[in-house]
Amino acid sequence: MATEDVHHQSRALGAALFALGALALQGCASHSEHMEPVRSALDMGDPHGAISLLDKEMDVPTPADLPKDMGSDNALFVLDRGSIQQSIAAFDASKHDYEAADKAIDMLDLAHDAKDTIGTYVFSGSSGKYQAPPYEKLMVNTLDMVNYLEQKDLNGARVEARRLAVMQKYVHDDLGESDNAVLGLGGFLAGFTFEQSDQVDEALRWYDQALPFTGFNSLTGPVRALLPKGQYRSPRLKQLESADAPPPPAQDDGQGDLVFVVGYGRVPHKIAHRIPIGLALTMMSGALAPGDVAAANRIAAQGLVTWINYPTLGPERGGYTVPACMLDGHYVQLEEAVNVTDQVRVEWKKIEGKIILSAITRMISRFAIGSVAGAVTGQKNGLVGLLVSLGAQATLTALDTPDTRSWETLPARVAIARVRVPAGKHTVHIDARGVRRDVTVDVDKGGWSVVSLMALR
Amino acid sequence: MNTTSCLVVALALAAPLSAGCGPQYVRGADNPGIDQPAMSTGLDKDDIQRSLHKLLDQMRAAPIMDEWRIKAGQNDRQTVAIAPFLNETSEHIDPQLDAMLSETETWLVNSSIVRVISSERQGDMIRQVEGAQHPVFDPRHIPQYGKQLGVKYYITGKVGSSDERTDDARRVQYFIFMQVIDTETSEIRWQQKTYITKAVL
């Protein structure tokens, strides 16, 4: 009778564990797996399809709707939708999404606490709240500024510039990053915003931050022309001031300014990666505690659950593209203002070791949990104990989803140009990766216009 | 009772509980407390009411209002326009500032001591002064607006902010200023301020 009970129990337990494992496997697709159809739609040149897929993923009826819960993945989906809306010149929709996502991502970042860190070391890489890397925090406001400038809304652009300044100070003071190349592009756009708002000193402060980065040669002339109107000086601006005479202001020449902002390609997204425990131990031998190495070696020797799951970077798209910009039928030289892919890789290098380490730690935790479960249930029957131990480990392995969350639709590179044009109507044609935009802009005497293209193929 | 029966009973008990857990629409009149919680670092109805309460109370007792009352008593009601509040903050609070403007306009109209020029009419006038490409209110051009509209006084304001972010907090301190400007002389005839702080801690 007792043997029959044990058989019943072990069958029931086995079935329950199998069901749990299957359920876990089904419900644990990583963020980048959810995003795969969206990436494919963009690759095929179907941004509207990509937006519909994101709406479906967020369970919202239209692209104007926000999800009820702006938690981790949804905040990123909204951010992605904002980028794609910008790529189809739906600037109002893009602003709506960027601003909602900006706040949601900031809230997630502020809410991140010790529980999330423990979760990533014990349970699953994606169990914690999403923490956006510095370049993402800076790019939200930078790209949203483009939306406002496209619509000639200096008031909105100034708000985004101020938000960028807050984040820039935080990234500099608290995260210790002062050389993030995204600041070059942000400084260029914020400087332009304040220049056109007649806030000369604020404009000079921003331009001064953009000038040390490569890709802003077209800025030296306009900054030189602005210097006599303002008081703010830095060693860099003083040097520029003494170099040559300022060009005449655009208004005096009966001219205006045109700025082009071209984003192209997509940054590398994260992909789930599995490596054998032996390889992981070799890679991380210096960073693991001796006790953990011994525990991991025991698991490796047991030969049971011997793979670790962790995210890594996939390839970028379109990084070698040469975007073309034509103004009234003549080519305009674009300069690469920021290589966002480089920022993604630099940031990834900083955290990659910690991520592999946490994956190994999770594997050891799973083994420990499995052993305890096996020991408790297997006190009377060793086979049941072994099954429970293996089942617990397998279930926890299935639940361990690598954290592949990131802003996947960021352009890989952003190029810019600033040219002076005679007042009047001008035709602009921008082309990158087969995505084209043709517009006619009307520039007033002393006026300005910003034309952008985000080719996210 | 066997295990299966226990499970069925537990599920039956849990079902109505879970049904009531989702978000629900509620009416402010039924639940006055819903206006109380701060839901973002932007400005909300409570912030607007508090700041206007202070600003308009001060304005009621200001010498410029006495002057307007005297003129109204002499059947010479002064013409006043209300200009958009300038947003110099790090938050997109322009709709809330427009609401402040409308509340001020309502208060002034109901006071019956001045003639208030509709803000819709001002849009055309701003377009005439600033040009169609950039039709945005610019306080430096108040004398021109005054001349165009035949307005003696402008009520305007601006909101600045100090926005700070640390690892675990974000705080926005708002500084709200309201002023009455004489369009002929550009003299500030009255000015008052109020502060609001919002934070995520």
Segment B19-46 shows an average pLDDT of 83
pLDDT of residue B25: 83
The residue with greater pLDDT, A128 or B161, is: B161
pLDDT of residue A23: 47
pLDDT over 70, % of chain A: 79
Contact state of B200 with A106 under an 8 Å Cβ cutoff: yes
pLDDT of residue A11: 54
Does the pLDDT value for residue B36 go beyond 60? yes
pLDDT band at B6 (very low <50, low <70, confident <90, very high): very low
Does the pLDDT value for residue A305 go beyond 60? no
Digit-coded pLDDT (tens) for A10-64: 555 555 554 454 444 444 678 999 999 999 999 999 999 999 999 999 999 999 9
pLDDT of residue A22: 46
pLDDT of residue A121: 63
The residue with greater pLDDT, B22 or A27, is: B22
Residues of A with CB below 8 A from B174's CB? none
Name the average pLDDT for chain B: 85
Digit-coded pLDDT (tens) for B123-136: 777 777 777 666 77
The residue with greater pLDDT, A272 or B87, is: B87
pLDDT of residue B171: 96
Digit-coded pLDDT (tens) for A137-159: 999 999 999 999 999 999 999 99
The residue with greater pLDDT, A297 or A199, is: A199
Q: Does A348 touch chain B (CB under 8 A)?
A: no
**Of A322, A412, A306, nearest in space to A359 by CA:** A306
Quote the minimal CA–CA distance from B164 to chain A in Å: 6
pLDDT over 90, % of chain B: 56
Distance CA B59, CA A347 (A): 54
The residue with greater pLDDT, A450 or A356, is: A450
pLDDT of residue A283: 74
Coil, helix or strand at residue A227: helix
Quote the minimal CA–CA distance from A418 to chain B in Å: 19
The answer to whether B97 touches B85, Cβ cutoff 8 Å, is yes
Contact state of B133 with A162 under an 8 Å Cβ cutoff: no
The answer to whether A456 touches A47, Cβ cutoff 8 Å, is yes
For B38, residues 6+ apart whose C-beta sits below 8 A from its C-beta are B44, B198
The residue with greater pLDDT, A287 or A105, is: A105
ipTM exceeding 0.90, yes/no: no
Does the pLDDT value for residue B16 go beyond 60? no
Q: Does B6 touch chain A (CB under 8 A)?
A: no
The residue with greater pLDDT, B178 or B118, is: B178
The answer to whether B146 touches B73, Cβ cutoff 8 Å, is no
Does the pLDDT value for residue B18 go beyond 90? no
pLDDT of residue A324: 96
- In a mutagenesis test of the B interface, which of A159, A175, A195, A200 is the best target, namely the one with the most B β-carbons within 10 Å? A159
Q: Does A170 touch chain B (CB under 8 A)?
A: yes
Residues of B with CB below 8 A from A442's CB? 133
Digit-coded pLDDT (tens) for A399-454: 677 889 999 999 999 999 999 999 999 999 999 999 999 999 999 888 999 999 99
Distance CA A390, CA B133 (A): 70
Quote the minimal CA–CA distance from B166 to chain A in Å: 6
The residue with greater pLDDT, B88 or B119, is: B88
The residue with greater pLDDT, A217 or A327, is: A327
Name the average pLDDT for chain A: 85
- In a mutagenesis test of the A interface, which of B4, B92, B97 is the best target, namely the one with the most A β-carbons within 10 Å? B92
Candidates B90, B131, B169; nearest CB to A162:
B90
pLDDT of residue A27: 47
Digit-coded pLDDT (tens) for A87-122: 999 999 999 999 999 999 988 888 877 666 666 666
Quote the minimal CA–CA distance from B89 to chain A in Å: 6
**Of B102, B86, B105, B82, nearest in space to B94 by CA:** B86
pLDDT over 70, % of chain B: 88
Digit-coded pLDDT (tens) for A176-222: 887 888 999 999 999 999 999 999 999 999 999 999 998 788 888 89
Segment A365-391 shows an average pLDDT of 68
Give all strands (DSSP E) within A167-264, no chain letters: 255-264
pLDDT of residue A114: 65
> Which is it for strands B153-165 and B170-182: parallel, antiparallel or unpaired?
antiparallel
A423 DSSP 8-state letter = S
Distance CA A93, CA A62 (A): 11
Segment B17-27 shows an average pLDDT of 66
pLDDT band at B4 (very low <50, low <70, confident <90, very high): very low
Burial code (b: 16+ CB inside 10 Å, e: under 16) for A273-291 equals: bebebeebbeebeeebeee
Digit-coded pLDDT (tens) for A361-370: 777 777 777 6
- Which residue's entry shows tokens 């959810």? A34
Candidates B40, B88, B165; nearest CB to A103:
B40
Phi, psi of B48 (to 5 degrees): -65, -45
**Distance set, CA A393 to CA A20, A21, A125 (Å):** 12, 10, 16
Does the pLDDT value for residue A78 go beyond 80? yes
Residues of A with CB below 8 A from B170's CB? 106, 110
- Which residue's entry shows tokens 């519909």? A52
Q: What is the pTM of this model?
A: 0.85
Contact state of B90 with A99 under an 8 Å Cβ cutoff: no
